[in-house]
Structure 1
Amino acid sequence: MPLIVQSLQPIASQDIDALRALADAPGLSLRGDTVATAEACAPLDDRLRDALETFCEPRRLDWAVLPTHRTLSDFRLVAMDMDSTLITIECIDEIADFCGLKAEVSAITEAAMRGEITDFNESLRRRVALLKGLDASVLDRVYEERLRLSPGAERMLEAARAAGLRTLLVSGGFVHFTEKLKARLGLDYARANTLEIVDGKLTGRVEGEIVNAEVKARTVRETCEAIGADPRQAIVMGDGSNDLKMMAIAGLSVAFRAKPVVRAQASVAFNHVGLDGLLNLFAA
């Protein structure tokens, strides 16, 4: 089982030595300053998982133990959540800031993403209802003034396209932002919720089917079917409980700066490195 350890800073030689012993990975060696790999290590059981987490987290190291050696081109699709995954913000929280309700909306968002609110549809309706009457021009202001890509996003997407993967942005957020990002980044597919707007104002309602966990998973399956791929040929990246169902059907799931419930169920967790940390998981 290959072991990959990566960091934003150079990995100390004494940490490499300690990890060799901890993971029974005598071949662990640096690949550049910030990535170390081993062809094989001990099987990933609860003991090793806890030991790696305990050692790596305070040193700001991200680790992964993968079941097999794979290349990026073994996959056909990379699917991403938007809010707090592809981008650094939660768009609905920033929209709410323009009507003085960011704290209230953020509290609901956080509870939903931690899995404490199990009905995502209801949590979204509650948050959107608070936006009633807000001028729709605020959506453009959030995009232009506050939306930022997560570190490594563009490099990861460029490499994925070069390896032949298609790209899907699937979000419980809003079409206003996903469509702009789709055009800006050259993504192949995008799906999200549509805010109802009448006379230039938000009505406090969402149009059509809400993109919840089940819809996200269905969208990944349907996209795989459309490109002639198996869901096990998909990489799925997310941060909240709403992403778990689509992560569960993927061949590789990445928890990106995610809630604990998501980190616990993902194939790999990136707590420190950027989205381009994905590229270090694969053989050349």
Structure 2
Amino acid sequence: MRYRLVAFDMDGTLLLAKSCWRIIHQRFGTIEEARKNLWAYESGLIDYREFMRRDIALWRPKPTIDEIKSILSSYTLAPNVRQLVGEIIRRGFQTAIITGGLDVLANEVARELGIPHVIANGLELDGSGHLTGEGILRVEPRHKDENLAQLAEALGISLEECVAVGDGKYDVSFLKKAGLGVAVGKDPELGRIADVVIEDFDHFPRLLDYLRK
């Protein structure tokens, strides 16, 4: 199979941090309240739109988008990500980020790495640039497969020609949908369904070998 598109999760995959949402909560001192929201979402008591609404409501007083960008600006790429993505692009693959994280960070990461396609969630703003308290839902974390399918169709690429790279339980549907699913790290649920498991991007030559097949 000649693969044409490599789509990456962001948090915990391209970035060392497991959640950009958590980084913001750490700054506002709202980690414990945020855990309750995540539990409610994972238990099926609320949907992801409500989860976003509840999480954003914890950030008081309402910040500006520039404040959020500043909080997220000190992100750290995972080791060897820059080399891996650069080599993938050099070899002619399309690349994308598909994440349940925030677009203000995903767009910056994409610019740094030269990734042209980004699908991520957003923050609604008022006329003065302050958060309104509403999120803009584009990626439901458990259903990244739907975003991958939409992107592949838009690019004229079959799902069998897609590679999905992720690190955690929310990436299960994402990896299952792609022609090649790559799990990074040691998440047991993801490892069971992945076609390829690599511990980290120190092993990126092995991943490049699979892309040649």
- Does residue 75 (structure 1) correspond to residue 3 (structure 2)? The answer is yes
* C-alpha distance in 2 between matches for 1:191 and 1:239: 17
Instruction: List runs of 5+ in structure 2 lacking aligned partners.
Output: none
- 1:194-205 alignment runs, 5 A limit: 194-198=122-126, 199-205=128-134
Q: CA deviation at 1:175?
A: 1.0
- Answer yes or no: is 1:142 the counterpart of 2:71: yes
User: What amino acid is the match of 2:120?
Assistant: A
Instruction: Describe the superposition over 1:157-214 as per-residue Cα deviations: whole angstroms up to 9, x where unpaired.
Output: 112112211011011111111111222211120011111233343332203x341146
- 1:247 maps to which residue? 175
User: What residue ranges of structure 1 are gaps of 5+ in the alignment?
Assistant: 1-69
Q: How many residues are matched?
A: 207
Q: Cα deviations across residues 52-75 of structure 1 (Å, max 9, x unaligned)?
A: xxxxxxxxxxxxxxxxxx6xxx21
Contact in 1 for aligned 2:15/2:78 (Cα 8 Å): yes
Other structure's SS at 1:253 match: strand
CA displacement 1:91-135 (0-9 Å, x = unmatched): 1111111211134425755x59xx944544443333223225342
- In the alignment, the residues of structure 2 paired with residue 171 and residue 258 of structure 1 have an alpha-carbon distance, to the nearest angstrom, of 19
Q: Compare relative contact order (CA 8 Å, sep 6+) and give the higher one, 1 or 2.
A: 2
Maintained 8 Å contact 1:77/1:166: yes
Give the secondary structure class of the aligned counterpart of 2:12.
Answer: helix
Question: What pairs up with 1:48-197 in 2 under 5 angstroms?
Answer: 74-89=2-17, 90-105=19-34, 116-118=42-44, 119-136=47-64, 137-145=66-74, 147-197=75-125
Percent identical among aligned pairs is: 27
Structure 1 stretches of 4+ with a deviation exceeding 4 A read 106-109
Q: How does 1:196-215 map to 2 (within 5 A)?
A: 196-198=124-126, 199-207=128-136, 209-213=137-141
Amino acid at match of 1:92: W
Q: Is the counterpart of residue 260 in structure 1 residue 188 in structure 2?
A: yes
Contact preservation (8 Å) 2:86, 2:113: no
* Structure-2 separation of matches of 1:121 and 1:242: 16
Two-structure CA RMSD over aligned residues (Å): 2.7
